[in-house]
Amino acid sequence: MTTTLAGGRAARRQTMRRIRPRRSPAALLLLAVWAGAAGVVWLWWTNTPSVAGNGGRILNAGRITGLLAGYLVALVVLQMARVPALERRVGSDRVARWHALSGRYTLCLIVAHVFLTMWGYAVRAGRSLGDVVRQTAESVGQLPDLGKAAIGTGLFVLVALTSAGGVRRRLPYDTWYHVHLLTYAAVFLTFWHQITTGNDFAVRPAARTLWYGLYGAVSALVVWYRILTPLRLNLRHRMRVEAVIEETPGIVSVLIAGRRLHRMGAEAGQFFRWRFLAPGMRFSSHPYSLSAAPRPGMLRITVKAIGDHSGRLRALEPGTRVWAEGPYGALTAARRSRGKVLLVAGGVGITPMRALFETLPGAAGDLTLLYRASSTQDLALWGELAKIAEERGARLMYAVNSPDGARPDISAESLRRKIADIDRHDVFLCGPPGFARSVYEALRGAGVPARRIHHESFAM
C-alpha cells in the first residue's frame, strides 16, 4: 500500500516564492573564525613582554594553547546550537563536519595546554619531566577552579573517544548522542578556571568582558535554538501520528498530523529530528527527511528499518504524540542555479528527492530522477514517483541489480549516454556515503561542476 499525497501544484507555487538563489556564507564565516583566532594570539602577545628560561617558554606555550582551546570550545558549542542561519545557509552536513574537525583540534589544544602548563610549573619548581603527574595533582588541589577543570577535561576526552570513527560505528546512536551532550557540562566546568587562573584576563578587564560576552552569546543561542524554539514549535503545532503505512518490506511511511504545519517554514528536501512519545522511544531523537512537501495539516516521513529506533516506527499507534526539532538542512530549491535538474537517490535517500521531484518548478523535460535500489521490490514510493513524472512531463529512471546480483553501471560514460547535456544540469544527490561518493566522482567525470552538485547528509 502506498500513501500518495496530492497537492503538488500548490507546493510548487510555495516553492517558487521561496527560491532566492544565494551563495553559501562559508568563506566569510571561516574568515571571521580566523580573525577571532588572530585576536586571541594578539591578546597573548601583548601580555607577554618577555620570556625567560625553559620554564617560562613552556608555560607560555601552555598559555597560548589554553587561550586557543578556550576560543575553539565556544565555536564547537556554537556549531551544536543549530542556528537556522548556519543550518539553512551553510548546510547541516557541512556544519557537522566543521564541528567534528574543530572538536579534534580543540581536544589536541586542551591536552597540549594541560601538559605544557604542568610541565612548566614542574620546571619552575626544579622538578623533572617525570614529575608532571605529581605537579598536576598538587595544582588541582591548590589552584582555584582547577578541580572542576580537571573533571571537565575528562569529559572532553570521553566525548572525543566515543566520537572516534571505530568507536562511533559500534555504539548505538542513542548512547553516542547522550554522551555527546556531556560537552555542555565539560564547557561549564572548564570555563571558570580560565577567568580565575588566566593571567590574560586578570590584567585585562576588557578581555575578560569580551570572554564573558563570547560564552554568554553562545550559551544564549543554545538555550534559544535547542530548548525554547523546539518548545514553542511543538506547543504551537501539537503533532501526533496519523497513520503508519508499509511502503515496501522494511520501509514505512509515518503520516504526522498537526495544526497549521505549513507555517513551520519547512521546505522540500529538509529534515526534522523526530522524537515519538511512545514506550521505548521517548528518549530517542533521530533525523528523518520529509518524503513529501509539507501540507497544511500533514507531514510525512518515509523510513527504512536499519536500527532499533527506525525498526520500532512500524509499531507506532495513531494518536502518538510527536516532538520535533527543525526544520534543518539546505538541500532545497534555493540551491538551484540552472533550468534543468537531475535528482539522484540511493535507497532510502529517495525521501528528500521525492519531495523535490514533486515541488521543483520546471517545464516538461527539465527534471530527471535516477533511483538506485537493490531490486525493483525496493523501489519505495515508485507509484507516486511515476504519477509525478507523468503529470509533470519529467523523466524517471531506475538502476537495480541484475538477476545475478551484478550492480548497474553508474559511471561518467553511462550518465553522458543517458543525459547528453548532463554538464548543464544542477544535480541533487542523496544516498548512503559510499554510493554518494561514487556518484559524485561519476558526475565530476561527466563534466558537472562541483558547485552544481548538491549533497547533504544528516547522519551525525
Assess whether pLDDT exceeds 80 at residue 24.
Answer: no
What is the Cα–Cα distance from 86 to 190, expressed in whole angstroms? 26
Query: How many residues in total does the chain contain?
Result: 460
What is the Cα–Cα distance from 21 to 337, expressed in whole angstroms? 7
- Say if 353 falls within a structural domain: yes
CB 391, CB 8: distance < 8 Å? yes
Assess whether pLDDT exceeds 90 at residue 157.
Answer: yes
Residue-wise pLDDT tens digits, 78-101: 999 999 888 877 878 788 889 999
What does 52-111 look like in DSSP terms, one character per residue? -HHHHHHHHHHHHHHHHHHHHHHHHHHHHS--HHHIIIIIHHHHHHHHHHHHHHHHHHHH
Give the Cβ contact number of residue 392 at 10 Å: 22
Same domain, yes or no: 301 and 222? no
The pLDDT-based confidence of 256 (bands split at 50, 70, 90) is very high
Same domain, yes or no: 367 and 424? yes
Same domain, yes or no: 85 and 218? yes
What is the Cα–Cα distance from 65 to 83, expressed in whole angstroms? 28
* Residue at a domain's end among 232, 266, 295: 232
Assess whether pLDDT exceeds 70 at residue 457.
Answer: no
The predicted model scores a pTM of 0.82
Same domain, yes or no: 322 and 344? no
Residue 101 CB partners (closer than 8 Å, separation 6+): none
Domain span at 118? 26-232
Same domain, yes or no: 178 and 271? no
DSSP 3-state assignment of 361?
coil
What is the Cα–Cα distance from 298 to 306, expressed in whole angstroms? 25
Which CATH number fits the domain that encloses residue 441? 3.40.50.80
Give me the phi and psi of 239, to 5 degrees please.
-80, 150
Same domain, yes or no: 91 and 187? yes
Which CATH number fits the domain that encloses residue 286? 2.40.30.10
Give me the phi and psi of 149, to 5 degrees please.
-65, -35
Give the Cβ contact number of residue 8 at 10 Å: 18
CB 353, CB 378: distance < 8 Å? no
The cell numbers describing 199, all together, are: 593571567
C-alpha distance from residue 437 to each of 316, 345, 423 (Å): 34, 12, 18
* Residue at a domain's end among 201, 232, 263: 232
Alpha-carbon Rg of the chain, whole angstroms?
26
Same domain, yes or no: 157 and 85? yes
CB 194, CB 201: distance < 8 Å? yes
The pLDDT-based confidence of 141 (bands split at 50, 70, 90) is confident
- Say if 12 falls within a structural domain: no
Same domain, yes or no: 41 and 189? yes
Residue-wise pLDDT tens digits, 95-125: 888 999 999 999 999 999 999 999 998 888 8
Same domain, yes or no: 41 and 151? yes
* pLDDT reported for residue 171: 86
The pLDDT-based confidence of 2 (bands split at 50, 70, 90) is very low
CB 64, CB 38: distance < 8 Å? no
What is the Cα–Cα distance from 415 to 439, expressed in whole angstroms? 10
Q: Per the structure, how many domains does the chain have?
A: 3
- Taking each helix axis from N to C end, the angle separating 382-392 and 8-18, rounded to the nearest 10 degrees, works out to 70
- Taking each helix axis from N to C end, the angle separating 8-18 and 350-359, rounded to the nearest 10 degrees, works out to 90
- Say if 21 falls within a structural domain: no
Partners of 396 in beta bridges = 369
Same domain, yes or no: 72 and 179? yes
* pLDDT reported for residue 16: 44
* pLDDT reported for residue 456: 77
Q: Which amino acid is at 82?
A: R
Q: Within 13 Å of residue 322, how many CA atoms lie on the same side as its CB?
A: 30
Same domain, yes or no: 261 and 374? no
Assess whether pLDDT exceeds 50 at residue 1.
Answer: no
Residue-wise pLDDT tens digits, 261-288: 988 889 999 999 999 999 888 888 888 9
What is the Cα–Cα distance from 391 to 384, expressed in whole angstroms? 11
- Say if 4 falls within a structural domain: no
Cα end-to-end distance, the chain, whole Å: 31
Residue 449 CB partners (closer than 8 Å, separation 6+): 423
CB 365, CB 421: distance < 8 Å? no
What is the Cα–Cα distance from 179 to 19, expressed in whole angstroms? 38
* Residue at a domain's end among 199, 232, 265: 232
- Say if 2 falls within a structural domain: no
The cell numbers describing 165, all together, are: 570513527
- Say if 300 falls within a structural domain: yes
The pLDDT-based confidence of 172 (bands split at 50, 70, 90) is confident
- Say if 430 falls within a structural domain: yes
C-alpha distance from residue 284 to each of 172, 173, 271, 273, 390 (Å): 11, 9, 16, 10, 39
Mean pLDDT of the chain: 89
Same domain, yes or no: 89 and 177? yes
- Say if 13 falls within a structural domain: no
CB 256, CB 239: distance < 8 Å? yes
What is the Cα–Cα distance from 436 to 430, expressed in whole angstroms? 7
Q: Which of 336, 344, 270 is nearest to 300 (CA)?
A: 270
Q: Which of 383, 399, 395, 396 is nearest to 431 (CA)?
A: 399
